[in-house]
Amino acid sequence: MKEFLRTKGFKMTPQRELIFRSFFEMEQHVSVDELYDKVRSIDRSIGYSTVWRNLKLICRVGLAQEVSMGDGITRYDRLTRVPHGHLFCLGCKKVIEFNADQIVGVLAQTAVENDFSNKGFKVEVQGFCAECRAKGAVDSFETESVS
Amino acid sequence: MKEFLRTKGFKMTPQRELIFRSFFEMEQHVSVDELYDKVRSIDRSIGYSTVWRNLKLICRVGLAQEVSMGDGITRYDRLTRVPHGHLFCLGCKKVIEFNADQIVGVLAQTAVENDFSNKGFKVEVQGFCAECRAKGAVDSFETESVS
DNA sequence: AGTGAAAATGAAAATCGTTTTCATTTAGAC
DNA sequence: GTCTAAATGAAAACGATTTTCATTTTCACT
Ligand SMILES: [Mn+2]
Ligand SMILES: [Mn+2]
Ligand SMILES: [Zn+2]
Ligand SMILES: [Zn+2]
């Protein structure tokens, strides 16, 4: 890792090391606050902006990608070898990942057809998970006006 | 339109009428500010929050969808009968739309497999357009550290 | 047409995640 | 060791989005 960063022109610091390591130990879709809390529990002296800047760096070097999803919070999603998409539940906000190999193939083709270089992609399906549909939390969007 | 809204439980007002009409006359991917400016040029008395609220309403009734794309500005994208995805140029920020019928088919299938109801989707490819690649604006991301 | 309740509006302020500033410290090439 | 560019931390700035609240307006129902 240290070498990897150095070749890209970045220095290694204790803070950076801890932040990077923690990030890759966490669950998918980490927010700045979440990572900040985790890192803080180990080193109380690390600043918020340092965490933020390093998360940006992780993206810059191609190890993660920013993702949004409705609420105004930016999350950081590790880029895995096997590309994936997101099923986002509008009810409970949960995210399910699914293999997007096939779709990525189509997208790559689309990029070529439009003379675009393909540096990344995002695939998201919004809907309601089984649990939320069961609870009837669904359609509170269309059928908002109930008696 | 008036009827359409009324059946959903919303009232019609002169402001709303102007905002809706203007929105559908504009180019794709309209921001609040852009629509506000347009509407303002016709009726100086309309407030920003009214424009904002009506844009939200347009989404709520299923006529548009919020989209992001890097910069922190929310844009509103009309939902067309034929589903489309976005090719987003990281260089000049331009957006090219492409037919996503095929992909949506696959996504619908994916939703079913995961017991998810499909209420919408987003498909985005990030990369560099032909012009930006020609200008060499590309890879200023990887090859940031030039002599 | 008149009335009342609910919805909509406009101006201003509040929110709040993100980003920048700046003084200071540190990494690492030479 | 020196030196320079990069990194850090605290605090402030930013800025788009969202809320508040007093006032106005719509429209279902007399
Ligand atoms: Mn993910
Ligand atoms: Mn579009
Ligand atoms: Zn759910
Ligand atoms: Zn371009």
Residue with tokens 């060499």: B136
pLDDT in tens, B13-39: 999 999 999 999 999 999 999 999 999
> A93 with A129, same domain?
yes
Which stretch of A28-32, A60-64, B4-8, B34-38 has the lowest confidence by average pLDDT?
Answer: B4-8
What whole-number distance in Å separates Cα of residue B39 and Cα of residue B19? 6
pLDDT of res. B147: 35
HEC assignment per residue over A105-138? HHHHHHHHHCCCEEEEEEEEEEEECHHHHHHCCC
Confidence of residue A113 (pLDDT cuts 50, 70, 90): very high
> B87 with B107, same domain?
yes
* Residue A99 to chain B, least CA–CA distance (Å): 9
Q: Which nucleotide minimizes the distance between its C1' and the CA of A13? A: C27
> B94 with B71, same domain?
no
> B46 with B101, same domain?
no
What whole-number distance in Å separates Cα of residue A112 and Cα of residue B122? 20
Question: Which ligand ends up closest to the CA of B128?
Answer: 4
- Domain total in chain A: 2
Interface test with A, best of B87, B132, B146 (most A CBs within 10 A): B87
Cβ A64 vs Cβ A58: under 8 Å: yes
CATH number reported for the structural domain that contains residue A110 in this entry: 3.30.1490.190
Distance between Cα B122 and ligand 4 center (Å): 21
What whole-number distance in Å separates Cα of residue A107 and Cα of residue A87? 18
What whole-number distance in Å separates Cα of residue A97 and Cα of residue A79? 12
pLDDT in tens, B121-147: 999 999 999 999 998 766 554 443 333
pLDDT in tens, B52-72: 999 999 999 999 999 999 889
> A129 with A95, same domain?
yes
> B90 with B107, same domain?
yes
* Residue A21 to chain B, least CA–CA distance (Å): 22
